[in-house]
Chains A and B, each alone.
Chain A
């Protein structure tokens, strides 16, 4: 369970996120919706421990995230969180495989073979054929599949996705949603920031954010 308690985040002394008590469970697709500039990405950066809280608490499975120092939060993120971005944010001069395993070089001198094998399996599973090709040579759909493989590499318990389908065609968008659902079905925590009706339509729980404040919360939209 992700539990947020009385959160305030300020940027240049201006509140950009102001949340009451929120609890989001593992094992379902959670969606955060809202207009542009509402603070959706800030929400993701906050719950992943990247932005400092002005006040409040973030608990993951009972552990207070901000009790960890910044370096420990980075390591926690590397081990427990998989990120998916709207623009994929892959390293253009690395191959598909290297992009997937790069994050493991943060904590390993030599990347363990099982992580490398897992990356290969994920890429194959997602239909990425030539894993040694540079990112620039892949289509947008393939890039998002590679980004998805990166997010799932190392089997993190938390998947945070920021507009994962916004730049994809319907076929690729459905594939991504399907994979997010599958991860949720595996008991992982999945939270997608999106205003894509396809994603919202599959959500178990939806939070509606506007001007940094939760306006609405609905259950079992799917």
Chain B
């Protein structure tokens, strides 16, 4: 037996119901697939972000907050880390490199991060150091170009009120010297400045010992306010001539800060930072450091470990989400299948004719099953195409929202899910087929 000829007739006869069936099925399927694919992509993308940081040392508190604030640059409130930690890290042989992270200021929605060169090298592969204390490197998504000058604002001001903005603005200038390469992480939205600058902007000085400045050639010191404060106790004004309401000369040719910025020793009066990003020499060193820095003053956190905890929580939700999605798909299919069954009930006479001219019950069963199943199979293919588009669109929207790159693609798991839906559908497709199969000849014959 070959039901194709009959199927061809039904496709023509019920074109619109077929189109509606395929559309509903494919949309329901695509949403389910896109949802699961997106969840996986978020997990993978966030793991990619956190994997860049081996160990974060911050003040005691929520580990999740620390990871979100430092790795994902979410603007939360972090306690500062005591300054002696810096000295401790300087002296620790288990540390390959470390870099401070000072949060607090922002510009046009981008966080300004005070740090040192090793972090630039680690995240962006940037080999150069900040050329001077007024310099800023900006992430790929920051809407600032090389050469542009901007003034930082305290906190992440979102208001468009000019007076409010003015109130929160630090009247010091940063000049963009370089646009950093794309990383696909929230750090693409970051503005990076020398850690000394973030201290100085807040009137904490630059973190370098007095004699150190004298021993270095800082062109920026000369002719600036620094001389005026020499010998005074106002530490906040010492250093690089950072003073609010002051016009700066950005032409700093010949100065030699680059050798100095980010380089500290045990004599330097270091200032508080939000956290340290630490690259341990070995895995054993990492565990040792985490243990040693987990006390009542600090906490050491492996971001990957924190993410695993988060994923474990998400994992339960994911399993539930998968089941709910599958149930929703099944309900959609069930309603569609009943719609088809109702449609066939209207065409009882056609089945009566087919039975009269010799069609067996099994021929009709196969025909109806193949009809519904073929619609589902087409719906699956259309649904997967739709899912691909939806995934790209949702990824784009989410990436903009969370400020890091979420790259979702349909993989084997999504096709398996789709095939599982089709398998359930193939069973449900038996319902209208059995409905037609079970109708008695007596009832059918009454219709002709």
The chain A residues found within 8 Å of chain B, CB to CB, are 11, 41-42, 45, 48, 50-52, 70-71, 74-75, 77-79, 81, 83, 85, 89, 91-94, 98, 101-103, 105-111, 150
Contacts and interface: CB of A to CB of B under 8 A. Distances in A.
Contact of A83 (B2, B357, B442): B357
Interface string B342-371: 000000011001011111111100000000
Contacts of A110: 2
A39 to B, nearest CB: 12
Contacts of B3: 105
Interface of B: 1-6, 8-10, 12-13, 349-350, 353, 355-363, 441-442, 445, 448
Contacts of B358: 74-75, 77-79, 81, 103, 106-107
A91 B3 CA distance: 14
B436 to A, nearest CB: 14
Contacts of A75: 358, 360
A52 B13 contact: no
B441 A50 contact: yes
A93 B360 contact: no
Contacts of B9: 91, 93-94, 98
A107 B10 CA distance: 19
Contacts of A70: 361, 441
Given A91-B9, A92-B13, A108-B2, A11 B442 contact: yes
Nearest to B444: A50
Nearest to B10: A93
Contacts of B8: 93-94, 98
Nearest to B357: A103
Contact of B1 (A81, A92, A106): A106
A33 to B, nearest CB: 19
A105 B441 contact: no
Contact of B448 (A78, A89, A105, A108): A89
B442 A74 contact: no
A74 B357 CA distance: 8
A51 B445 contact: yes
A105 B2 CA distance: 5
A103 B363 CA distance: 11
Nearest to A101: B5
Contacts of A150: 357
27 contacts: A45-B356, A45-B441, A50-B356, A50-B445, A52-B441, A71-B360, A71-B361, A74-B359, A75-B358, A75-B360, A77-B358, A78-B357, A78-B359, A79-B358, A81-B358, A83-B356, A93-B8, A93-B9, A93-B12, A98-B9, A103-B359, A105-B1, A105-B2, A105-B4, A106-B358, A107-B1, A110-B2
A107 B361 CA distance: 12
Contacts of B13: 91-93
Q: Which of A42, A74, A102 has the most B CB atoms < 10 Å from its CB?
A: A74
B160 to A, nearest CB: 62
Contacts of B442: 11, 51-52
A106 B360 contact: yes
A200 to B, nearest CB: 23
